[in-house]
Amino acid sequence: MGGLLPSGLQAWLSTVLACPHSSSCRLFFPEDPIKIVRGQGQYMYDEQGEEYIDCINNVAHVGHCHPLVVQAAHEQNQVLNTNSRYLHDNIVDFAQRLSETLPETLCVFYFLNSGSEANDLALRLARQYTGHWDVVVLEHAYHGHLSSLIDISPYKFRDLDGQKEWVHVAPLPDTYRGLYREDHPNPAEAYAGEVKRVVSSAQAQGRQIAAFFAESLPSVGGQIIPPAGYFPEVAKHIHKAGGVFVADEIQVGFGRVGKHFWAFQLQGEDFIPDIVTMGKSIGNGHPVACVATTQAVARAFEATGVEYFNTFGGNPVSCAVGLAVLNVLEKEQLQAHAAHVGSFLMELLRQQKAKHPIIGDIRGVGLFIGVDLIKDEATRTPATKEADYLVSRLKENHILLSTDGPGRNVLKFKPPMCFSLDNVQRVVAKLDAILTDMEEKLRSCETLRSQPCGSPTKPCPSLAAAQPGYPGEPFLFLPTLPHQRPE
């Protein structure tokens, strides 16, 4: 077996054969998985010592294995790690530092271990405060893996038990593919109007709204940037219905957007959510999460008389790690770095859009960027297979990138915040080279359109041969891309 399979695939198969395995647990690049053994900064290393640029990992926020974060965890681990029922400086200091980044009204903090725990608690807080039960969410949203959160995540429940009667889904505020696009005079108001319509429909059925949940920048939905002014208008409708606004910052908080520390701040200085949830980047890979809310919401939760206790939420080690992450962000000026590097990446990607017709849209802010690949400029049909092929080719060139969105056609850039200008140039150069190669192969098939091998049921031989890792399954790259844009 060792002589026939790539080492990464061999290691994966060995694991599968050695212990029980569920197909519901998936790997990146399943046709040729990588065995990663080390990470440093924005780089990951496989068992052969090969270096990969990590464009995926927004969890390792300040960089894989940042020495100051590792040191903070190690030093506190040597002294004490216990639950939060004892007095300890770390949890107080961490809450104080977080409060300095948020509006004054968000001054009560609950510490947990994961983003899913944070969103689950936010749901409990909202229901207790409002006395209502129902939730409004955005189409294709994902808020966590707990049962309570699967129920408010269309991305998941569409394929499971379906939509519960207490869940109400509003259109994703997508100005590229959605109901109201870039040519609409006021997409923020129009999309907020859709939320108002959903709320009114629910109320007509006797339902009462507890909360509106939204990622400040929808990620699974395809790296969506809601139009400015959308959240404030939505909040008006939700508050009028007696609900609260929950901003899920788990994927995009802590300076990733560059312009601001929190992505919800992109919606204007006057917009303040009632609850903010944090996870992933807060601990740079250590299991830390947090819910920030107002005194009023916290007091309503206290009124139940039921203690809220999370065994390791807010433990001394986790808080030491969280403080270290904040220290690194400040010391290395990573928020400003994200703005600078992200702007450069957007500029180079826009140049690629002008050159390659498969690129339909470039959207993003800071180091949260999506590249929407299309089959046709008029219909904006998602180029799903092409996106998958492109990501596979990038991996061969030691660049790790993934796709998302309803059509799995959006290349998503969410690298560690130390991602550099040199990294940007290298990644975009490889992207350009691969797209150019794809287009050349496509042109070589143009003359075969009228022949059987160029038909929709038979892929072009040159493209089939180009797809790695699929023996016996040629890559179905259909010649349906739009023609090259004129210079």
Residues 328, 345, single domain; the answer is no
Q: Return averaged pLDDT per consecutive 10 residues of the chain, 487 residues in all.
A: 50 51 81 95 97 97 98 98 95 98 98 98 98 97 94 89 94 97 97 98 98 97 97 98 98 98 97 98 97 98 92 97 98 98 98 97 98 96 97 97 96 98 98 95 68 52 45 39 39
- Please give the Cα distance from 465 to 473 (Å, whole number): 10
Residue 252 lies in a domain: yes
Q: For residue 340, tell me if it sits in a domain.
A: yes
CATH code of residue 356: 3.90.1150.10
80: which residues sit within 8 A by CB, 6+ positions away?
88, 316
289 lies in a domain?
yes
Angle, helices 89-99 vs 316-331, to 10°: value is 40
402 part of a folded domain? yes
348 with 437, same domain: the answer is: yes
Looking at 299, 332, 365, which one is the last position of a domain? 332
Residue 465 has a pLDDT of 45
What pLDDT is recorded for position 484? 41
Residues of the domain holding 355 = 26-55+334-443
The per-residue pLDDT for 8 is: 53
Q: Cβ(17)–Cβ(373) under 8 Å?
A: no
pLDDT attached to residue 22: 73
Residues 435 and 359 in one domain: yes
Would you say residue 365 lies in a domain? yes
Tell me, what's the pLDDT at 2? 40
Residues 231 and 339 in one domain: no
Looking at the domain assignment, is residue 180 inside a domain? yes
Q: Which domain CATH number covers 240? A: 3.40.640.10
Note whether 374 and 381 are within 8 A (CB): yes
Q: Clarify whether residues 372 and 405 are in a common domain.
A: yes
What lies within 8 Å, CB to CB, of 291 at 6+ separation is: 109, 110, 112, 118, 121, 122, 125, 275, 276, 277, 278
Q: Check residue 5 and give its pLDDT.
A: 53
pLDDT at position 477 is: 43
- Same structural domain, 46 and 80: no
Residue 435 is assigned to a structural domain of this protein: yes
User: Is residue 322 domain-shared with residue 338, that is, in the same domain?
Assistant: no
CA distance 85 to 95: 16
Domain tally for the chain? 2
* Phi-psi region at 242: left, alpha or beta (left = phi > 0; alpha = psi -120 to 50): left
338 to 323, 370, 397, 410: CA distances (angstroms): 20, 15, 24, 20
Residues 325 and 355 in one domain: no
pLDDT value at residue 157: 83
Establish if 62 belongs to a structural domain. no
**Among candidates 43, 346, 81, 404, which has minimal Cα distance to 217?**
404
Q: Do 321 and 203 fall into the same domain?
A: yes
My answer on whether 299 and 361 are in the same domain is no
Looking at residue 141, what is its pLDDT? 94
In a shared domain, residues 104 and 45? no
Q: Cα separation of 72 and 102, whole Å?
A: 24
